[in-house]
Amino acid sequence: MKKQQANNQPWSKHYKKENIPESIEYPDCSMVDMIMQSAEKWPDNIAYEYYGHKVTYKNFVRKIEKTARALKNYGVKEGDRVTICMPNTPEGIAMVYAVNMVGAICNMVHPLSSEKELEYYIKIAESKYVLVIDAVFDKIYRLRDTAQLERIIVVRPSDGLGFLKKKLYNTLHIKKVRLPSNDNRVVLWEDFIANSYFYQGSYHEERGASDPAMIMYSGGTTGAPKAVLLSNLNINAESICDATMIRQVEPGATVLSILPLFHCFGMGVCVHTPLCKGMGCILIPAFSHKQFADIIKKNKPNFIVGVPTLFEALTNTKLKSDDLESVTAVICGGDALNQTLRDKVNDFLSSHGSNAKIRVGYGLTEGSGAVCLSPEDTFADGIIGVPLPDTHFKIVRSDTFKECPVGEEGEICISGPLVMMGYLGDDAETAQVIRLHDDGKVWLHTGDIGYLGEDGLIYFAQRLKRIIISSGYNIYPTHLESIINSHEAVFTSTVIGIDHHYKGQVPKAFIVLKPGYKPGKRLEREIRELLERNVPIYALPVAYEFRDKLPQTKIGKVAFRELEKEEKNKK
């Protein structure tokens, strides 16, 4: 695809300083085509490592092709949607590219999602095929009839290991998920792959940049889950721009792939970017801060990418003075990074052998992941940095298209190849956030407030929509409130984020009951169980407080800011 017209922007001086092009030419190809190109250039480089089991690019492509043949053998056609409900395992990664290879669309969902959410994700995507880790198989299986599933492919954590390690793992881990023996809709991964030999037809469909490739989920502007449709261009442009902005990206380097593949930041920065550049992904399916030191010592990664809570955990690990010598790049996203933590991380890196300085990324699912990255040598509270090449930023006054002057806060809008195709099945919501401005460009309204600084950098101020960020995951208070309010005893409720020493924030619910109902442990349990059926574990409130009334603003809305102040004052 041709380069966009490069315009002189306020941040152009930063591009020149770091030798970054303002515009790039993007290939008219699919995601998997990019991986195939990597395999041609670096066939013997390690594509990924999984608990010590290393796989080269040459063998990774073979695994993708086998998986693609297996999909075709089971009837997956061009344009079908395949749900991938997996942590970071070789099977999950291979399935992403195999689905893309056969011309189908990946529907990426969080394994810890509630059963109700999984049903919504599968139905809105009209997905008949699911790849799922065995630990959450039961939730998917209960949806087999209501979601009209045709095939459920079950992965065990040991499937991605070498023969001897797999045998040892299966011996030590005696507890196994029991699968139905008389339902041909359910197939184990090993049988799914073995059956690929029955398909001898074509399996690599030609797809272009503008074709849809992936569905990921965001809260949109309302807090209810929204299916974000991303194209091959969206995801490929993300990887090309990331590699352009981070000069340490080079073949053979390794990235600690802790952020999950169902998270846009994880898929874009921890999986697709390294795999497009001949790098190696160190796949971590389940992160534990207690194991962080061992992970670093054993793998000696070059890149560490994570959210603020991960870097807080890093600074609390027991490492020797040279244990971080291998680390050349450190990227933080998912939530704001304050000056205190930034300095703490940089001091820790320096005192343990690394010359890297932590950089802050800003992004959103509707923007394919990261859309902005701070310069290596610049930091202050609020800086989110320089837009990625071809991504234009505009700060506008709320509910208008009028651009704010330098230094004035307004809504952040972005334009360029990273902007999503739209919300699947929701044209009205898409029209609310993707708008044609008077300048003739299509702009994504992010719902975030920021400003352009005198230094030509973008600064983040606050979120326009209510949102709680806990360990990098977005939690939408209005969504939780709508579920709580559906309980027969509840008159109204408000959910706020309260500070947490490790997760950043966690939700707390304030509840007013209808006349005739009294608070108590039983009622609290009922409300908690109602939420458990509808939201993932990480979004559950940590506390429930019953009140006779909630504070209100002058126009009669709940003054949730007052509740936030009350909680802070309790410390």
- Per the domain annotation, does 283 fall within a domain? no
280-283/434-436 β-pairing: unpaired
CB atoms within 10 A of CB 390: 23
Residue 199 pLDDT greater than 50, yes or no: yes
Q: Which of these ranges, 401-415, 416-430, 436-450, 491-505, has the smallest mean pLDDT?
A: 491-505
Which of 426, 443, 425, 446 has the alpha carbon at shortest distance from 434? 443
CB atoms within 10 A of CB 300: 15
Residue 89 pLDDT greater than 70, yes or no: yes
- Per the domain annotation, does 543 fall within a domain? yes
- 3-class secondary structure, 369: strand
User: How would residue 464 be classed by pLDDT, with cut points 50, 70 and 90?
Assistant: low
User: How would residue 162 be classed by pLDDT, with cut points 50, 70 and 90?
Assistant: low
pLDDT at 1: 59
* Higher pLDDT pick, 170 / 424: 424
pLDDT at 3: 53
* Number of domains into which the chain is organized: 1
User: How would residue 221 be classed by pLDDT, with cut points 50, 70 and 90?
Assistant: low
Instruction: Please give the single-letter amino acid code of residue 475.
Output: I
- Per the domain annotation, does 402 fall within a domain? no
Residue 82 pLDDT greater than 80, yes or no: yes
Work out the burial of residue 360: count CB atoms within 10 Å of its CB; fewer than 13 is exposed, 13-18 middle, 19 or more buried.
Answer: buried
> What torsion do the CA atoms of 508, 512, 516, 521 make, to the nearest 10 degrees?
10
Which of 153, 56, 42, 146 has the alpha carbon at shortest distance from 99? 153
347-355 long-range Cβ contacts below 8 angstroms, 24+ apart: 348/314, 348/315, 348/324, 349/324, 351/321, 352/319, 352/320, 352/321, 352/322, 352/323, 352/324, 353/321, 353/322, 353/323, 353/324, 353/325, 353/327, 354/324, 354/325, 354/326, 354/327, 354/328, 354/330, 355/328
The mean per-residue pLDDT over the stretch 60-80 comes to: 97
CB atoms within 10 A of CB 488: 7
User: How would residue 565 be classed by pLDDT, with cut points 50, 70 and 90?
Assistant: confident
Residue 338 pLDDT greater than 80, yes or no: no
- Per the domain annotation, does 244 fall within a domain? no
pLDDT at 171: 42
The mean per-residue pLDDT over the stretch 208-229 comes to: 85
Q: What does the mean pLDDT of the chain come to?
A: 89
The mean per-residue pLDDT over the stretch 526-551 comes to: 90
Residue 561 pLDDT greater than 60, yes or no: yes
Domain that holds residue 498: 468-569
The mean per-residue pLDDT over the stretch 188-208 comes to: 94
- Per the domain annotation, does 475 fall within a domain? yes
Please state, in angstroms and rounded to a whole number, the distance separating the CA atoms of residues 418 and 370: 9
Which of 370, 472, 365, 334 has the alpha carbon at shortest distance from 108? 365
Work out the burial of residue 486: count CB atoms within 10 Å of its CB; fewer than 13 is exposed, 13-18 middle, 19 or more buried.
Answer: exposed
Percent of the chain having pLDDT more than 70? 94
* Higher pLDDT pick, 341 / 91: 91
46-50/280-283 β-pairing: parallel
Residue 566 pLDDT greater than 50, yes or no: yes
Q: Which of these ranges, 102-116, 216-230, 314-328, 420-434, has the smallest mean pLDDT?
A: 216-230
- Residue-wise pLDDT tens digits, 258-295: 999 999 999 999 999 999 999 999 999 988 888 899 99
pLDDT at 18: 85
- Per the domain annotation, does 290 fall within a domain? no
N-term to C-term CA, the chain: 55
Percent of the chain having pLDDT more than 90? 64
Please state, in angstroms and rounded to a whole number, the distance separating the CA atoms of residues 131 and 117: 16
CATH number of the domain that 495 lies in? 3.30.300.30
Please state, in angstroms and rounded to a whole number, the distance separating the CA atoms of residues 525 and 532: 10
- Residue-wise pLDDT tens digits, 471-512: 777 788 888 888 998 899 998 888 988 888 778 889 999 998
CB-CB contact of 154 with 134 (8 Å) = yes
The mean per-residue pLDDT over the stretch 425-431 comes to: 93
Report the DSSP beta bridge partners of residue 280.
254
- Per the domain annotation, does 133 fall within a domain? no
543-546/504-513 β-pairing: parallel
pLDDT at 501: 78
Q: What's the pTM?
A: 0.85
